[in-house]
Amino acid sequence: MSEHIAPTRTPAFEARLKKRYAAEKRFRSLGLAAIVFSVAVLIYLLGTMTFNGIGGFQRAEVEVPIDFTQAGLSADPATMKTPQALQSLQGQGLPEVVQYFAQESLGEAGAAELGAQAWRDVAQAIIDDPSIVRGEQTFWLPASADLASGYAGEGSRELQALAAELDSAGKIDKNFDVGFFSRADATNPQQVGIWGALKGSMLTMVVTLLLAFPIGVLAALYLEEYAPKNRWTDLIELSINNLAAVPSIIFGLLGLAVFLTLFPNLRSAPVIGGMTLALMTMPVIVIAGRNAIKAVPPSIRDGALAVGASPVQVVFHHVLPLALPGILTGTIIGMARALGETAPLLMIGMRAFVATPPDGFTSPATVLPMQIFLWSDEIDRGFVERTSAAIIVLLLFLLLMNGLAIYLRNKFEKKW
């Protein structure tokens, strides 16, 4: 009597089963490899940016002790609280005082390489604490860009030798530059700061969010809940889907042709940048909003209508709260894209040298990606490190913005 073999366990079946398991194993391995590759690239990117960017948060400074009792400066506390305090100290000869004591401490060659704006740091210290003019104080003041390069082992041999001499005497060092977070753009890498561009990005994002979010959400609600199903609605939906894929520079051309024509005096202003980026962000929010609204179960609407709610109450009391997490996810994606854009902002003049932080939405400003682009175009090595530091600030700003949006999404999320 021959051995009975079940139809499902034949050799051919076993071979097919083995082949299928092997295919599934290869698929899992490929997926895992993709994840590992992505994580490795991310770690390399963040590691490189962090390694290069650490130097960008520092600057070369020289030690200058100043005996104010010999300087004859007057720092009346009432005057130091006024906007004219800096001019008062400058008029009393503070720049010459700083230069004199720098020459006493560093020698003639070292004093010549003191940063041209170093006296402003001393002035700010006096404004913060006028009582220091009654004694002796030691300051770490910014060196010139050439001496900073020499300290980094670059530039002329004379400056490298001078930096080595000051280093051996303990009179030059790289210190954490707190002012990097409070200054704006400058021509000297020792004097640049990120606050001007960061504030410009914040103001631009505020305008973008205030315009794109409500208009995008209302458009998505209308298209899903109220719009009749006809060819015009289909045409509008098709146009919105196409707008989401339009190259960003096209929106810059639109902003240049429309907004700057209407408001020619607001070139480089955050309000124009925000309006331009809102055009680019809005289709993303509309598409994400429509998908989120579609995902709300029809039974929610039917139940609300059954207990007497009006259509508007159904939308704003039930559909919108339940769709809000999905809408906020689309908003995060759109705002993150807008934060990193430079092409549309180039067209409206935000590629500008702005040496002071913007005072408001209508002041000339630039944004973080544009500032990174401008610094990366400089040949001075000091700007290379500052560029990496600015990229770190941009990433942190992006993470902070996304973290806030994710928190709001989770806070308003409702489960059933």
Those residues with Cβ within 8 angstroms of residue 190's Cβ, 6 or more apart along the chain or in another chain: 59, 60, 115, 142, 143, 144, 145, 148, 382
Q: What is the pLDDT of residues 137-165, one digit of tens each?
A: 899 999 998 898 888 888 888 889 999 99
Q: What is the pLDDT averaged over residues 200-219?
A: 93
Q: What is the pLDDT of residues 290-324, one digit of tens each?
A: 999 998 888 988 898 898 888 889 988 889 888 88
For residue 413, is pLDDT > 80?
no
Q: Which backbone phi and psi does 196 adopt, to 5 degrees? A: -60, -50
pLDDT of residue 47: 86
For residue 1, is pLDDT > 50?
no
**Calpha distance 367→352 (Å, rounded):** 10
Residue 135's nearest CA partner among 63, 64, 68, 65 is: 68
Q: What is the pLDDT of residues 41-56, one digit of tens each?
A: 989 988 887 887 788 8
pLDDT of residue 7: 64
Q: Give residue 14's pLDDT band: very low, low, confident or very high (50, 70, 90).
A: confident
Q: What is the pLDDT averaged over residues 258-279?
A: 90
**Distance of CA 375 to CAs 106, 249, 343, 345, Å?**
31, 21, 16, 16
**Calpha distance 156→350 (Å, rounded):** 36
**Calpha distance 203→355 (Å, rounded):** 17
Please give the span between the terminal C-alpha atoms of the chain, in angstroms, as a whole number: 61
**Calpha distance 342→355 (Å, rounded):** 19
pLDDT of residue 414: 63
pLDDT of residue 5: 58
Specify the range with the lowest mean pLDDT, choosing from 193-202, 383-392, 405-414. Answer: 405-414
**Distance of CA 412 to CAs 211, 215, 288, 291, Å?**
21, 20, 17, 17
pTM for this prediction: 0.81
pLDDT of residue 40: 95
pLDDT of residue 134: 86
Q: Which helix (H) or strand (E) holds 92?
A: none
- Could you give the percent of the chain with pLDDT greater than 70? 97
Q: Which helix (H) or strand (E) holds 380?
A: none
Q: What is the DSSP letter of 265?
A: G
Place of tokens 């020459």: 103
Residue 224's nearest CA partner among 143, 314, 109, 306 is: 314
Q: Give residue 206's pLDDT band: very low, low, confident or very high (50, 70, 90).
A: very high
Q: What is the pLDDT averaged over residues 95-107?
A: 91
Q: What is the pLDDT averaged over residues 63-71?
A: 89
Query: Helix, strand or coil for residue 262?
Result: helix
For residue 2, is pLDDT > 70?
no
Tokens matching residue 348: 């409206």
**Distance of CA 357 to CAs 196, 241, 331, 353, Å?**
4, 37, 27, 11
**Calpha distance 319→217 (Å, rounded):** 12
